[in-house]
Structure 1
Amino acid sequence: MSQFASSTPAPLTPSDELLAGLTATLRRWSALRAAVSDQWGGPSSHAKADSLRLSLHSQLTAARGVPDARDLGDDLLIYMEEEFSCQLEDGSPADIAGILVEMASACSKGDFELARRMVQNAELERASLEGNKVALQVEGEMSDDDDEMADTAPAPQPAASYTAGSLFADPAAPQAPANQPPPRQLGEAKPAREVERVVDEDGFEAVAPRRSRRKEKLPPSNVAF
């Protein structure tokens, strides 16, 4: 027996396979990526994205079964609007929900093909954004061109790297204030906020400005099977 431990990573559990695919799908969602990178949700933007991922995973693995795709899409739409002030009209929340529900249903039956494909697609996109090429091995065979590329190109990260850490890892990201309440769960009603009344010296109450809703032109959602 070899005295060295095997370098082969341990296989992921069905729950982790789903989490990896879920993470890959959310990382490729251009609206969420922009909302976090530009801090549309304030200093807690990273925490809100992480809370969204964990909440989705909890719902998709609940004992009561996989949620309805339409309901999940509505929850995503509301969450993006209320937590990131982002009013989406591109249909991407419904698209994301459809992918996640199909993925969760497949994973519950031991079929991880879609989840793994989403991780592979996320890795290809990451490498493209970083200006790198990724060597992919298909059914154990590689072409001569692939052999040359593999000498210098980084290999795709293992799916296990999609189950730990922050959704959008950024050590330089601003930290949320210590007194900030924890991000709410997906589908949870937003707590009512008490509005402080401001009365001027003439006795008139000032009207608080309405919160704007972002309608930036985001790039088309590139999340696909």
Structure 2
Amino acid sequence: MAASNGGGGPGPGPISAEAEAALGEAIRLVFGRWTALQMAVENQWGGRDSRAKADQLGESILFWFCRTKGPYYFEDLVDMMYDKISESFNAYFEDNSIEEVAEQFLIIHEECLQNNYSSIEKLRNSPVPGNAVSQSRQIVGDDDDDSDSSDDGDDTSMVADEEAGPEEMAVDRPRPPKPTPDADGWTVVPPRRGGRSKK
């Protein structure tokens, strides 16, 4: 029952229980520092169980790495994360943070397979940014008013956030042209911008 990697990268075989536990911890640590996801959770974009939905996203990623056969492709992980976030939070993160997080997970997974936990150690020792979510509350507070007249202002603030630099991981809130939730509270989310052009 030895798992074969199906011609993927330098995979030393199935992941050990220790490496799987470490990868699970890494996912939780990264999620705690992921501004976009924390905004979605804190502002309950996915409803009252937004925290549980974030935990489910983490479980899905861990399952993908530990219970499916490789090779593990960046685009597959990114697509899965986009789908889950769209499904769970009715949101589309346009700040490229999903790609950054996916790349980080692929690197940490490779390291875990080699019993190298240095990246996880760095995560443990790095402080969790405290003010990103409180700042986002003010931004999203404007969004809760749902007044059509503020649409133009919202767009300019989002552009300003994106230009603030990579350290602040700017986030675009759920961003249909006019966010109009249906009777169940769901908001239509536009498709990603040509994210699958690479083959």
State the TM-score, normalizing by the size of structure 2: 0.55
Contact 1:60 1:66 in 2 (8 A): no
Shift of 1:62: 2.6
Equivalenced residue count is: 124
For 1:53 and 1:209, the matched residues in 2 are separated by 25
Q: Aligned pair 1:212/2:184, yes or no?
A: no
Select the structure of larger CA radius of gyration. Answer: 1
CA distance in 1, matches of 2:184, 2:67: 40
Paired position in structure 1 for 2:110: 105
Q: Distance in 1 between matches of 2:184 and 2:124?
A: 43
Corresponding letter in the other structure for 2:187: S
Specify which of 18, 24, 30 is matched with residue 29 of structure 2.
Answer: 24
Kindly tell me: are residues 34 and 214 of structure 1, through their superposed partners in 2, closer, same or farther at Cα, counting changes over 3 Å?
Answer: farther
Q: 1:45 offset after TM fit, Å? A: 0.9
Specify which of 118, 123, 126 is matched with residue 123 of structure 2: 118
- Asked if the contact 1:17–1:107 (Cα under 8 Å) also holds between the matched residues in 2, the reply is yes
Distance 2:184 2:48 in 1: 21
1:80 lines up with 2:55 in the alignment: no
Alpha-carbon distance, 1:15 to partner: 1.7
Letter in 2 for 1:125: V
Once the two structures are superposed, residues 180-223 of structure 1 have per-residue CA deviations (whole angstroms, 9 ceiling, x without a partner) of xxxxxxxxxxxxxxxxxxxxxxxxxxx969943589xxxxxxxx
The match for 1:43 among 41, 48, 51 is 48
Identity %: 24
Q: Which runs of 5+ in 2 are unaligned?
A: 1-16, 132-181, 191-199
Q: CA deviation at 1:34?
A: 0.8
* Aligned-partner residue type, residue 61 of structure 1: C
> Is the Cα–Cα contact under 8 Å of residues 81 and 213 in structure 1 kept in the other structure?
no
Normalization by structure 1: what TM-score?
A: 0.49
In structure 2, do the counterparts of structure 1 residues 38 and 109 end up closer, same or farther at CA, with 3 Å as the change threshold? same
**Residue 64 (structure 1) aligns with:** 69
Secondary structure of the residue that 1:89 maps to in structure 2?
A: coil
Distance 1:49 1:84 in 2: 9
Letter in 2 for 1:42: G
